[in-house]
Amino acid sequence: MDEAKKRILSGIKPSGDLTLGSYLGAIKNWVALADSCDCYYCMADMHAITVRQDPAELRRRTVSQLAQNIACGLDPKKNVVFIQSHVPAHAQLGWVLDCYTMFGELSRMTQFKDKSAKNADNINAGLFTYPSLMAADILLYQADLVPVGEDQKQHVELTRDIAHRFNTIYGEVFKMPEPWIPKVGARIMSLQDPQSKMSKSEQDTGGCICLMDSPESIMRAFKRAVTDSDTRVCYDPDGKKGISNLLNIYCAAAGITIPQAEKEFENKGYGAFKTAVGEAVVEMLRPIREEAGKLLGDKAYLAEVYRDGAMRASQTAGRTLRKVYKKVGFVER
C-alpha cells in the first residue's frame, strides 16, 4: 500500500439486484477513487442473511453483483474486490466487537427499528448486532474513509465509538474511520415514493430501476414516475420532490447541471421531461448491462477475481485480527 493514499472500505448487500441508486450513489463514486485511494469493496453477503434469503438466489445475485461492479468500471486490478463470507476474519472480529458494543448503542440504531418493523416474524440476533459486524468490516482494513449514504452514517459513528472504546483499553489498535458522503447523487429516491430512498424491494412496483433492466422496462418506469399536478420542471426538493428527484437523475445521467436542465425543459411539460430522463438513463446503463452480460458468461474469470480478492483482503484483515486476538488475550494458534 502507498502510505500517502487514504484507505477506503465499502460494500453493498446482494439482497436484491443493484439499482440506479446503488450506481449513482455509490459505485460511480468508487470508480473515481481507484487511482487516488487504496480501495476495498465487498459483496456483503453475510449482512444479507439477517433477512431470510433463497440460497440459490443469494449465490446468483452475489456473483451478478460482482460482474456488474466490474462492468461499472471497478477494475479488480486497481481495487480489492471480494465476497465478504470468503474472508473469515469478518465474522471473527465481529464476535470480538460484539463484546465491546453496548446493548443500548445497538438498541438506538434506526435501521434495526425499521427492519424489525418490516420483519416482525424474524427479529433475530444478527439483525440486532449487525452494526458490530459492519464495524468489523471497516476496522479490519484500518479504513480512513467509508463511503456511505446518509442512512448509514449512524453506523460509522457507532464504529468510531467501538474503536475508541477498544483503543482506550488496549492502545492504538484501530484507525478512526470517517464517513464520506458524496455531494452529488448521494441519495436517489423512489420513482413511486419520492420521499423514500430507491430500494431493491421496489422492483415489482416500478419504484426502482435495476442496472440489468431492459430499455423498455426503464422507459415504462420513468413514464409512470410520480410527479405533481404542476407542469413546471424546476428544482424544489421540498415542494416538488418527484420532479427534483428526476432532475437529479437526469443531470447525473446527462452530465449537466440543474440550471442547465431547468432551462432545457422550460415550457416543455412533464411528458417530454420524463421521456428524456428515461432515454438518458437507458443510454447510461446500456454499456454496463451489455458488459455485465458478457462477464456473467465467463464464470472462470469471475471466480478468479473473487478468489484473488479474498486472498488480498485476507492478508490485510489477518494483520488486524492477529493484533486484536493478542490484545484481548487469546492464545496464538
Whether the CB-CB separation of 208 and 286 falls below 8 Å is answered with no
Q: Phi-psi category of 151—alpha, beta or left, where left has phi over 0 and alpha has psi -120 to 50?
A: alpha
For residue 327, indicate whether it is catalytic.
Answer: no
Among residues 89, 109, 113, 90, the alpha carbon closest in space to that of 101 is found at 109
For residue 78, indicate whether it is catalytic.
Answer: no
- The one catalytic residue in 13, 28, 200, 274 is 200
- The one catalytic residue in 6, 77, 78, 115 is 115
Angle at CA of residue 16, ends 13 and 17, nearest 5°: 105
Q: Round to whole Å and give the CA distance between 228 and 196.
A: 16
Count CB-CB contacts under 10 A for residue 230. 13
Whether the CB-CB separation of 279 and 250 falls below 8 Å is answered with no
For residue 153, indicate whether it is catalytic.
Answer: no
Dihedral over Cα of 101, 102, 103, 108: its sign: negative
Long-range contacts of 47-51 (CB under 8 A, 24+ apart): 47/11, 47/13, 47/15, 47/84, 47/130, 47/133, 47/134, 48/13, 48/14, 48/15, 49/126, 50/115, 50/124, 50/126, 50/127, 50/130, 51/15, 51/115, 51/119, 51/122, 51/127
- The one catalytic residue in 197, 263, 294, 299 is 197
Residues annotated as catalytic (active site), given as ranges: 115, 197, 200
